[in-house]
């Protein structure tokens, strides 16, 4: 079953639910209206239509500040992580779901206003907002506890406006409490890179003493390795950039080499974080019999054909799709327990295009984070 604090929508008949979603869609389209000098305004990075990031398509401009609806909270953004999924949205590798749209789904901020019946978080509470914005609560997947596979989901920064802005609204039941001890910029990458990396680790089935391969060593991998080492797992990192190899070794990898270099030992499991399908055959080749290969991204370039021999002997390939709220809650608990330390490079909100260009060119060891200056609207 879905978590106890599920959205009010699960109590409505299907037809009413559809009508409510339609009304929300209209509200979302209105919320992105460029400001005309009236009403409450905020700064935001707006994507009018998908385009290569090299063209700097995000427009830093004034828009109308959103208002929280039933069961929602208005959050003043302090920091927002920059994710490769944002690149997929901006460059159109993910089919547009809302246009124009404000990207960003690793949001840390302060609850500033409560909508009707939204009393879970007091005003002034520091919270986090992640990729999964809302589920319908009534489909077979939600009812079976697999809300990450919901038939009618909404996603932050993709189908609803995200955190590349001074303010964001979100359903209180899909908002996370942020553990003490994490500065805002350190906490932001935990909300997607961290949560998806954690779900990938779970799906790999890796056990204490096992050997785990990472292909690609960006934001997600540099968090996941800290969990894996906490669990007593040996990590082997394959990544094309020497700076990322260095970071992997600093974080406890027993070996770090090029993307297509064969690890010195066979692996019990591997996770492909890079969105490059050509890595899959090489990763399969590195697995032991019965090994599991997890594809950790939302988008991947075409996977080339490969000999069945690479898959034979009960090797398994599986993808990761989104996350459940329980994934997020469990991960944030263990992140505080370890505690995880993220390596971040901070950019001002107005430099989102520059941050995304750096991310695309593998120029950021660790994670990029946008800092939202309180003085923007002053």
pLDDT digits (tens, 9 = 90+) for 235-294: 999 999 999 999 999 999 999 999 999 999 999 999 999 999 999 999 999 999 999 999
Residue 102 corresponds to which tokens in the numbers above?
């404000």
Return d(Cα 45, Cα 32) in angstroms, integer: 11
289, burial (CB in 10 Å: exposed 0-12, middle 13-18, buried 19+):
exposed
Closest among 292, 87, 80 to 206, alpha carbons compared: 292
Using one digit for the tens of pLDDT, what is the confidence trace for 26-75?
454 445 555 444 359 999 999 999 999 999 999 999 999 999 999 999 99
CATH number of the domain residue 367 falls in? 3.90.180.10
Return d(Cα 334, Cα 326) in angstroms, integer: 12
Residues facing residue 170 across a β-bridge: 73
Q: Are residues 41 and 165 located together in one domain of the fold?
A: yes
Q: ω before 339 within 30° of 0 (cis)?
A: yes
Phi-psi region of 132 (alpha: psi -120 to 50; beta: other; left: phi over 0): beta
Tokens 């189908």 label which residue? 159
Is residue 367 included in any domain, yes or no?
Answer: yes
Q: Are 213 and 221 in contact (CB under 8 A)?
A: no
Is residue 335 included in any domain, yes or no?
Answer: no
Distances in whole angstroms, Cα of residue 101 to Cα of each of 37, 89, 157, 158, 217: 20, 10, 7, 7, 28
CATH number of the domain residue 260 falls in? 3.40.50.720
pLDDT at 376: 61
Phi-psi region of 235 (alpha: psi -120 to 50; beta: other; left: phi over 0): beta
Q: Are residues 14 and 113 located together in one domain of the fold?
A: yes
Q: Are residues 172 and 204 located together in one domain of the fold?
A: no
pLDDT at 321: 96
Using one digit for the tens of pLDDT, what is the confidence trace for 321-339?
999 999 999 999 999 999 9
Closest among 364, 368, 373 to 352, alpha carbons compared: 368
Strand 367-371 with 344-348, pairing: parallel
Return d(Cα 346, Cα 210) in angstroms, integer: 35
Using one digit for the tens of pLDDT, what is the confidence trace for 3-36?
333 333 333 444 444 444 444 544 544 455 554 4
Tokens 């950019």 label which residue? 347
Count of domains for the chain: 2
SS3 61: strand
Q: Are residues 52 and 39 located together in one domain of the fold?
A: yes
Residue 292 corresponds to which tokens in the numbers above?
């599991």
DSSP string covering 134-192: E--S-SHHHHTT-GGG-SS-EEBTTTB--SSBSEEEEEGGGEEEPPTT--HHHHGGGGT
Q: Are residues 136 and 45 located together in one domain of the fold?
A: yes
Is residue 209 included in any domain, yes or no?
Answer: yes
Is residue 326 included in any domain, yes or no?
Answer: no
Give, as one character, the DSSP assignment of residue 286: T
Is residue 328 included in any domain, yes or no?
Answer: no
Q: Are residues 65 and 124 located together in one domain of the fold?
A: yes
Q: For all residues of the chain together, what is the average pLDDT? A: 91
Q: Are residues 104 and 250 located together in one domain of the fold?
A: no
For residues 165, 187, 342, 227, the Cα torsion angle rounded to the nearest 10 degrees is -130
Q: Are residues 90 and 224 located together in one domain of the fold?
A: no
List, in order, residues 6 or more apart from 184 with CB less than 8 Å away.
Answer: 78, 79, 108, 109, 126, 371
- pLDDT of residue 200 exceeding 50: yes
Q: Are residues 115 and 168 located together in one domain of the fold?
A: yes
**CB-based burial, 53-64: b 16+ in 10 Å, e otherwise:** beeebbebebbb
Q: How confident is the model at residue 301 (pLDDT cuts 50, 70, 90)?
A: very high
Give, as one character, the DSSP assignment of residue 365: S
pLDDT at 24: 52
Is residue 336 included in any domain, yes or no?
Answer: no
Q: Are residues 184 and 217 located together in one domain of the fold?
A: no
Return d(Cα 299, Cα 312) in angstroms, integer: 25
Is residue 225 included in any domain, yes or no?
Answer: yes
pLDDT at 34: 54
Is residue 30 included in any domain, yes or no?
Answer: yes
> Could you tell me the residue range of the domain that residue 58 belongs to?
8-189+343-371
Return d(Cα 81, Cα 138) in angstroms, integer: 31
- pLDDT of residue 116 exceeding 80: yes
Residues in the chain: 378
Q: Are residues 306 and 233 located together in one domain of the fold?
A: yes
Residue 245 corresponds to which tokens in the numbers above?
């190899």
Tokens 């959050």 label which residue? 75
Q: Are residues 170 and 200 located together in one domain of the fold?
A: no
Radius of gyration of the chain from Cα atoms?
A: 20
Query: What share of the chain in percent tops pLDDT 70?
Result: 88
Distances in whole angstroms, Cα of residue 130 to Cα of each of 97, 247, 375: 17, 25, 25
Return phi, psi of residue 53, to 5°: -65, -25
Q: What's the CA angle centered on 299, arms 363 and 177, to 5 degrees?
A: 75
pLDDT at 36: 45
């Amino acid at each position: 079953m879905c978590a106890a604090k599920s959205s009010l929508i699960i109590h409505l008949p299907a037809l009413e639910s559809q009508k409510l979603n339609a009304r929300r869609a209209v509200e979302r389209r209105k919320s992105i209206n460029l400001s005309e000098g009236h009403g409450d305004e905020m700064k935001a990075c707006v994507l009018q239509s998908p385009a290569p990031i090299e063209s700097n398509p995000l427009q830093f401009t004034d828009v109308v500040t959103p208002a929280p609806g039933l069961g929602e909270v208005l959050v003043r953004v302090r920091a927002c992580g920059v994710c490769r999924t944002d690149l997929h949205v901006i460059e159109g590798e993910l089919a547009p779901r809302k246009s124009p749209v404000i990207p960003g789904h690793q949001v840390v901020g302060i609850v500033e206003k409560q909508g009707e019946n939204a009393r879970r978080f007091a005003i002034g509470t520091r919270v986090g907002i992640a990729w999964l914005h809302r589920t319908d609560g009534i489909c077979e997947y939600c009812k079976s506890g697999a809300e990450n596979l919901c038939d009618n989901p909404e996603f932050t920064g993709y189908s609803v406006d995200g955190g590349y802005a001074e303010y964001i609204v979100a359903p209180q039941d899909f908002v996370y409490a942020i553990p003490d001890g994490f500065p805002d910029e350190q906490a932001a990458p935990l909300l997607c890179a961290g949560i998806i990396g954690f779900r990938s680790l779970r799906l790999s089935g890796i056990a204490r003493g096992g050997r785990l391969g990472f292909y690609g060593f960006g934001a997600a991998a540099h968090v996941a390795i800290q969990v894996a080492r906490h669990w007593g797992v040996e990590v082997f990192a394959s990544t094309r950039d020497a700076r990322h190899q260095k970071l992997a070794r600093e974080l406890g990898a027993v070996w770090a080499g090029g993307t297509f270099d064969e690890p010195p030992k066979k692996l019990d499991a591997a996770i492909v974080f890079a969105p490059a399908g050509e890595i899959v055959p090489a990763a399969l080749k590195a697995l032991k019999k019965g090994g599991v290969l997890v594809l950790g991204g939302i988008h991947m370039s075409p996977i080339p054909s490969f000999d069945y021999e690479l898959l034979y002997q009960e090797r398994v390939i599986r993808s990761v799709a989104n996350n459940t709220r329980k994934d997020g809650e469990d991960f944030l608990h263990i992140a505080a327990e370890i505690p995880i330390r993220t390596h971040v490079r901070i950019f001002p909100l107005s430099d989102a295009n520059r941050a995304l260009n750096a991310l695309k060119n593998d120029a950021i060891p660790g994670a990029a984070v946008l800092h939202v200056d309180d003085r923007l609207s002053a």
